[in-house]
Amino acid sequence: GVRQDVAVKIYGEDLEQLSKYAAQIGKIAGTVNGAVDVYVEEVTGIPQIVIDYDRAQLAKYGLDIKSVNNSIQAAFAGASTGLVYEGEKQFDLVVRLEGDHRTSLTDVQNLYINGYKGQQIPLHQVAKVSIIDGPYQIQRDDTRRRIITAFNVRNRDVASVVAEIKDKIENQVNLAPGYSVTYGGQFENLVEARERLGIAVPMALLLIFILLYFTFGSVKQGVLIFTAIPLSAIGGIFALWLRDLPFSISAGVGFIALFGVAVLNGIVLIAEFNRLKKNGVSDIFQRIYQGTKTRLRPVILTASVASLGFLPMAISQTSGAEVQRPLATVVIGGLITATFLTLVVLPILYYYSEKN
């Protein structure tokens, strides 16, 4: 897994080409506002001894690649030539060159190989021995080679950073055929959470309406109270725009919390109207006037307590504030408009519903 907030995954076959793309994308990430701690995965750079056989020379001396490989392995890695018994235990007897003769490239080049006539042939006569930088790790996803450029996000939402770097990569990086780019890290969790939120919000709204119906036993009054939800959403959206905050997962969670508190204000008002009607107050205007006057303080206090409780989160500047601020901003902004509009719009809608 990737611990950074965003991981740009480049897929392809050639490791050197992948490294070039990763370095190029790393430079692009450094130019994106909010992208910090840029990390480019290293897959090459470890020295390796490479033996490139000359097949014509091998045939000249009657050698084959398998036998030469076995000789090299025995000389430098060791080969079992028998067993050593110690009581009931047995151990492989491994032989190889002394340490002084397997320390440098020259030792490999000057290794003697037995020819088919018993002659001693230096390895450099039948092969080219060199040191090159080779891969020390090869990462794969679904059998495809990949390399990662990753970074964290500060003082900005992840979605807008990914959108910006995605646009820059498409315009500035010319990927060869067979190479592709995907985005992962914590951003993957963000995408999955957004999909879950697309299910959670409608479910929450449906459950709210069902509970309203069972509380009042009336679809009409349930719909009346349900109008507090769009009224509160207006304030939440406006507050996000006013503070220049994007719609994020935490903002979506804030809307769910906001809807519950906003509906509570409507329940308080409608329940009071129903109580006055049951007690014999038949005049609609008198019922609305008395009910609103009686429940004004509870409605305002309910909204005030919730808003003040979220205020420290709304003005937070500490670590994790980028998650707290959208949530608190939505709740506070939504409660301000919901409280005002509930006290004004809901009585008007109640009047017309009762009049008809």
Q: What is the pLDDT of residue 52?
A: 92
User: Does residue 112 sit in helix, strand or coil?
Assistant: strand
Both 141 and 198 in a single domain? no
Number of domains comprising the chain: 3
Both 256 and 292 in a single domain? yes
Q: What is the pLDDT of residue 1?
A: 59
10-residue mean pLDDT series, the chain (356 residues): 80 87 89 86 80 90 89 88 88 88 87 84 90 78 86 81 88 88 80 81 86 85 85 88 82 84 84 86 85 85 83 79 83 86 84 79
Both 301 and 232 in a single domain? yes
In a domain, 202, yes or no: yes
In a domain, 258, yes or no: yes
The CATH number covering residue 73 comes to 3.30.2090.10
Helix H segments across 31-134? 55-60, 65-76, 105-109
Both 152 and 229 in a single domain? no
Strand partners, 126: none
Q: What is the pLDDT of residue 233?
A: 87
In a domain, 1, yes or no: no
In whole angstroms, what is the distance from residue 302 CA to residue 300 CA? Answer: 5
User: Does residue 62 sit in helix, strand or coil?
Assistant: coil
Both 288 and 259 in a single domain? yes
144-153 and 180-184 strand pairing: unpaired
Both 251 and 297 in a single domain? yes
Domain span at residue 330 reads: 189-355
**Single residue among 184, 218, 246 that ends a domain in this structure:** 184
The CATH number covering residue 151 comes to 3.30.70.1320
Both 35 and 53 in a single domain? no
In a domain, 153, yes or no: yes
Both 347 and 242 in a single domain? yes
In a domain, 338, yes or no: yes
Q: What is the pLDDT of residue 218?
A: 83
In a domain, 232, yes or no: yes
The number of residues in the chain equals 356
Both 126 and 152 in a single domain? no
Both 72 and 35 in a single domain? no
In a domain, 284, yes or no: yes
Query: Given the structure tokens 């398998």, which residue do they identify?
Result: 66
The CATH number covering residue 222 comes to 1.20.1640.10
Q: What is the pLDDT of residue 81?
A: 86
Per residue, the 3-state secondary structure of 119-154, as one string, reads: CEEEHHHCEEEEEEEEECCCEEECCEEEEEEEEEEC
Both 203 and 121 in a single domain? no
Both 21 and 150 in a single domain? yes
pTM: 0.58
